[in-house]
Structure 1
Amino acid sequence: MANKTRSPYLQAISQDDSLPIEHVAVQLWLKDLDNGLRWTLRPILQFFFAFVLHIVWFIKRLPLPQFSAHSLLQKTICWFCTYFVSKEANLLILRHFATESNILNFLAENSGHDHKVNLYPKKISDMLTQTFVNHDQELFDCFIKLGAVKRSDSETTKKHRWAAWQPINMDEFTIEQKVTQILDFETSHALFMCLFCLLLKRDEYRDAINGFNLDQSIAIRVGNIIDDNTLTEYAYNKYPQYLVGPWNLGQRFLMHGFFTEHLYAKLEAMRISQLE
């Protein structure tokens, strides 16, 4: 049943299941859109922090000694998520770890190598060890080991492997909600962008923001495995050979999140159907 307090467009997308994305993820995102601060505070903060980000990006590109502070970065993010980021946004962040880990594990298992990603945080404090930095490095390590694209024949396609796949159970996530947790997903990301740029080495940050462009490669490779060449339509971020800077980073980050949700839901439906 559509929420009549929402605009007709939001009611429409709440009922539209054309894209393979789990209903719970859609509802979390719609609730995040209901956050009034998203429409008032976010534009101001995004403009301000986008300006700061480009200044930090420029400084980090200068021929100066490089430094990183991964531990401080993760502690700051977890502290901020614990006290200021909304429950819906935190759940979407935790889901993202799980969706991408599952996709990479499926890709590895069905491409003939044993690379396994084990980043499935269930609460905010888990991200102190299962970190965003590890999240990026696991993606790169997976592709380093994958090698050339292998096209699957019809017989192989029927025998997908799911040993490392962990279906997402929302009941396993634990968020102790506080009254100060009021910031929506996009506003929170705007605050994090400068912190990431500052506390990672310049090449680490450049790689992290360009890792989104591997979405197209993932879609191609998974599509070859399951014999579906339409998956690339879900990938907004494309052409990993073309390196980009922090411009339009917020939108590219969000579209990466939608892509992993779409691909996870499609593969999960396929897994379930193969078990029946």
Structure 2
Amino acid sequence: MSTSKKPEPSAYLNAIANDNSLPIEQAALDLWLKDLQNPLRWGVRPLLQFIFAILLHLIWFFKRLPLPQFSAHQSLQKLICWFCTHFVSKEANLLILRHYATESNVLNFLAANSPASDIAPVQLYPKCIADMQQASFVEHDQQLFRLFGELGSWHHPPQPLPATKVSWQHWQPIDMAKFQLAEKRTQWLDFESAHALFMCLFCLLLTREQYRDAINGFNLDQSIAIRIGDLVGDSNLREMAYNKFPHYLVGPWNLGQRFLMHGFFTEQLYAYLEQRRLASNYPA
């Protein structure tokens, strides 16, 4: 009786599995490599992205007509949580939960080490899908915009902060064991296919301004990298940001890639800062 063997990763996947040129935690890399080998990503995702990209632009046009605006934020988040619970793969769900934690940590590091004082830290650290009912994607965006508003204009410091002066006050290291996910047989959808399904719902169930702001919020990645680079004395950090130039507002074109690269950016910047925290012997 013959037994089927799991196909070996390709030569390229083996290469990136061993490439640590860019900082990324091994847990995140393992999740992403497994997601990349989901057969649906290569068979179903291109069709979904093609169909829903057309639908997205039609909804985008509809929302820009001179009609009353409507928003169903709570219904949107309930639908997303239900879909993630039943249909999105464990790897993709863990990557989503990690994204909340990586971005919250990055923003809290920026707030804690900026000249502005009395900035409330970001508290979005969901540990399960149900937590995203409150720690919603819209709230995730709004916390980013709030923080930038409270930080105000950035005055590039002439010197980086000494290591002893760097604050890790609100930093929460990611512990994969604390994420709570119950696996179901129906959870088969990869990360990018799930996003292709979600993006039209976001456009439909948010006001045009809310959605426009959300898809342009990615472009603040460059600003975050510049500011943190100033603080730690590493101008190379801005090279991590794929999404750039926040003053140039964009529409939904190429949204899937921009969303994914935003996720890579926060993972890489989090890993970079976590390495510095561990090197400083700051307690967890």
What TM-score range do you get, normalising by the shorter chain? Answer: over 0.9
> Which stretch of the first structure deviates more once superposed, 51-60 or 156-165?
156-165
- Structure 1 residue aligned with 2:217, among 183, 194, 211? 211
Following TM superposition, by how much is the alpha carbon of 1:153 offset from its aligned partner in structure 2, in angstroms?
5.1
Q: 1:128-148 CA deviation, whole Å, 9 max, x = no partner?
A: 011101000000001001112
CA distance in 1, matches of 2:111, 2:145: 12
TM-score normalised by structure 2 residue count: 0.94
Report if aligned partners of 1:115, 1:145 keep a CA contact under 8 Å in 2: no
Q: 1:57-108 CA deviation, whole Å, 9 max, x = no partner?
A: 0000111000000100000000000000000000000000000000000000
- Structure 2 residue aligned with 1:142, among 140, 147, 151? 147
CA distance in 1, matches of 2:259, 2:198: 12
TM-score normalised by structure 1 residue count: 0.97
Is 1:29 the counterpart of 2:32? The answer is yes
CA distance in 1, matches of 2:90, 2:218: 25
Give the aligned CA root-mean-square deviation in angstroms: 1.2
1:122-271 mapped onto 2 (5 Å cutoff)? 122-152=127-157, 154=159, 156-158=161-163, 159-271=165-277
Report if aligned partners of 2:160, 2:233 keep a CA contact under 8 Å in 1: no
Which secondary structure state, in structure 2, belongs to the residue aligned with residue 177 of structure 1?
coil
Match of 2:113 in 1: 110
CA distance in 1, matches of 2:216, 2:162: 30
Q: 1:69 to 1:250 in 2, by over 3 A?
A: same
Q: Which amino acid aligns with 1:272?
A: L
Q: Which amino acid aligns with 2:260?
A: L
1:51-70 mapped onto 2 (5 Å cutoff)? 51-70=54-73
Q: Which amino acid aligns with 2:132?
A: M
Report if aligned partners of 2:160, 2:231 keep a CA contact under 8 Å in 1: no
Q: Report the number of matched residues.
A: 274
1:10-89 mapped onto 2 (5 Å cutoff)? 10-89=13-92
Q: 1:155 to 1:234 in 2, by over 3 A?
A: closer
Following TM superposition, by how much is the alpha carbon of 1:240 offset from its aligned partner in structure 2, in angstroms?
0.4
Report if aligned partners of 1:157, 1:227 keep a CA contact under 8 Å in 2: no
Q: 1:220-255 CA deviation, whole Å, 9 max, x = no partner?
A: 000011011000100000000000000000000000
Which secondary structure state, in structure 2, belongs to the residue aligned with residue 275 of structure 1?
coil
Q: Which amino acid aligns with 1:176?
A: A
Q: 1:156 to 1:82 in 2, by over 3 A?
A: same
Is 1:99 the counterpart of 2:102? The answer is yes
Q: 1:106-126 CA deviation, whole Å, 9 max, x = no partner?
A: 000100332310000000000
CA distance in 2, matches of 1:267, 1:152: 19
Q: Which amino acid aligns with 2:39?
A: G
> Which stretch of the first structure deviates more once superposed, 95-104 or 150-159?
150-159
Following TM superposition, by how much is the alpha carbon of 1:152 offset from its aligned partner in structure 2, in angstroms?
3.5
CA distance in 1, matches of 2:175, 2:88: 21
Q: Which amino acid aligns with 1:59?
A: F
Following TM superposition, by how much is the alpha carbon of 1:157 offset from its aligned partner in structure 2, in angstroms?
3.1
Following TM superposition, by how much is the alpha carbon of 1:149 offset from its aligned partner in structure 2, in angstroms?
1.5
Report if aligned partners of 2:216, 2:250 keep a CA contact under 8 Å in 1: yes
Which secondary structure state, in structure 2, belongs to the residue aligned with residue 190 of structure 1?
helix
